[in-house]
Amino acid sequence: MRKAKNIFANIDTASVFLYILLISFGWLNIYASQYNDDTNFVIDFSSRYGKQLFFICFSLLIAFLILIIDWKFFYSLSYIFYGIIVTSLILLLIIGGVTSGATSWFEIGNFKFQPSEFAKFATALALAKYFNMQHIKNKKFQTKFISYLIIIIPFLLIILQNDTGTALVYSSFILVLYREGLSANILIFFLIIGILFILTLLIDKIILSIIFTVLTIAIVFFLRKNKKDIIMILLGWILSLFFIFSVNYIFNNVLPPHQSKRINVLLGKDFDPYGAGYNLIQSKIAIGSGGFSGKGFLNGTQTRFDFVPEQSTDFIFCTIGEEWGFIGSFLFIMTFMGLVIRLIFLSERQRSNFSRIYGYSVACILFAHFVINLGMTIGLIPVIGIPLPFVSYGGSSLLGFTILLFIFLNLDSYRLQILR
């Protein structure tokens, strides 16, 4: 525990200021999304904006407690936090409640708790501690395998809950590993997989297989003197063909039906304005109607008349776009990206691997959430249900992101003392 006079001595005030700015702006937009002519500006704890105010106050209390705790507490309990969260994710599959098709919640009366929101900081702590161990060598196969395993275990458990959006965020840890020396080939591999998945849905698999075969023959011809590269290219060609012919099975049997439908709508293969495509259509209308300067606070018609479902949660950016317009949206994006860039700067100045890796994990997780959520609301990414950090309604979400951020601010405040 810190001495009282030193509690805020080394805390990064810029990050705290941006955090408070984001949660305050988020609350205003949650209030706007719930507003109607009968609403009085009175705190009503039965409403979402009233509950969110309680969540904000509770999160600020937790943030304060995190800042006054010694950094060694988080380091020494990293694996324990990870074990508790993994156990919780397993229990969810057995006794968890189902909400919107996902088994992501523990339900106790009116209280709901979503462990996957807390799995992010636990995974980040476990990964950072593992890499911080002095005997670890980043290029060893064992190191890579265990680091992947730390990420993959919660990822698979969340996938089994039908919460694809949250699981997708775990791909951001690849960027953290890249910063720590992972080969760029793995990034290229995942990029090719993503492109191949989309092409397989748009182009007949036989035609796509012929195209890949011709490209492989051409590449082999130009690299015919390098036998090692040829072997790798041929192996990649075989794996690509296997992937091409397995995509349809994954798309039709592994992904939940509503997500498959949304992907088809996004790719233009299906048109369902009153079903899977409704959210996206109304979202675009709301954002586009805001124009350059917006309709003004509490004046959004799409927002006030509930045209966009889940507008206080996953589609909160619609409220920002409609009522605050391009100017407000741009300032919000700059504020959020300012926090991400600030976290990267703080990560780079850390003297320990543990603090640096955890800091990059925080920045990458927030950035992934931000990109996926905004891409979802403007039609660049399928609607998969993922909150906008610090802005969307939700107690588990806000508390999870607050813990994620303030653990790093705690570590940063001790950066001159943490030497390993």
Q: Which residues of 143-177 are buried (b: 16+ CB within 10 A; e: fewer)?
A: bbeebbebbebbbebbbebbbbbbbbbbebbbbbb
pLDDT in tens, 202-237: 777 788 888 878 888 887 777 666 666 677 777 877
pLDDT in tens, 403-417: 999 999 999 998 877
pLDDT given for residue 418 in this prediction: 62
Quick check: helix, strand or coil at residue 380? coil
Contact between residue 320 and residue 329 where contact means Cβ atoms under 8 Å apart: yes
Rounded to 5°, the CA angle 95-101-105 comes to: 40
pLDDT in tens, the chain (420 residues): 555 446 667 899 999 999 999 999 999 999 988 887 666 666 777 788 889 999 999 999 999 999 999 889 999 999 999 999 999 999 888 887 766 666 677 777 667 778 888 999 999 999 999 988 755 555 567 777 888 899 999 998 988 887 878 888 898 998 898 888 776 666 677 777 777 777 777 777 788 888 878 888 887 777 666 666 677 777 877 887 887 788 777 777 766 666 676 676 666 666 666 666 777 788 888 888 888 988 888 888 777 777 777 788 888 999 999 999 999 999 999 999 999 999 999 999 998 889 999 999 999 999 999 999 998 888 888 777 789 999 999 888 999 999 999 999 999 998 877 655
Cβ contacts of 291 within 8 Å, gap of 6 or more: 325, 326
Residues facing 102 on adjacent strands: 99
Task: Find the radius of gyration of the CA atoms of the chain.
Answer: 23
pLDDT given for residue 4 in this prediction: 46
Contact between residue 338 and residue 12 where contact means Cβ atoms under 8 Å apart: no
pTM of the model: 0.85
252 CB burial (10 A radius; 0-12, 13-18, 19+): exposed
Q: φ and ψ at 86, to 5 degrees?
A: -60, -40
pLDDT given for residue 84 in this prediction: 94
- Return the residue matching tokens 């780079």: 348
pLDDT given for residue 254 in this prediction: 66
Q: Where are the domains of the chain?
A: 4-189+258-413, 203-255
pLDDT given for residue 135 in this prediction: 52
pLDDT given for residue 34 in this prediction: 82
pLDDT given for residue 244 in this prediction: 79
97-99 and 111-113 strand pairing: unpaired
Alpha carbon dihedral 116, 117, 122, 123, in 10-degree steps, equals 60
pLDDT given for residue 385 in this prediction: 77
Among residues 54, 15, 7, 16, which one has the least CA distance to residue 399?
Answer: 54
Quick check: helix, strand or coil at residue 60? helix
Among residues 390, 389, 386, 391, which one has the least CA distance to residue 373?
Answer: 386
Among residues 68, 172, 128, 170, which one has the least CA distance to residue 355?
Answer: 128
Contact between residue 212 and residue 220 where contact means Cβ atoms under 8 Å apart: no
Among residues 10, 18, 66, 6, which one has the least CA distance to residue 418?
Answer: 10
Quick check: helix, strand or coil at residue 375? helix
CA distance 56 to 53: 5
Among residues 49, 24, 55, 22, which one has the least CA distance to residue 36?
Answer: 49
pLDDT given for residue 360 in this prediction: 95
* Residue 26 CA: distances (Å) to CA of 30, 57, 222, 383, 409: 6, 14, 55, 20, 21
Task: Give the number of residues written for the chain.
Answer: 420
Contact between residue 364 and residue 373 where contact means Cβ atoms under 8 Å apart: no
CA distance 402 to 97: 24
Q: At 390, list the tokens.
A: 């610090």
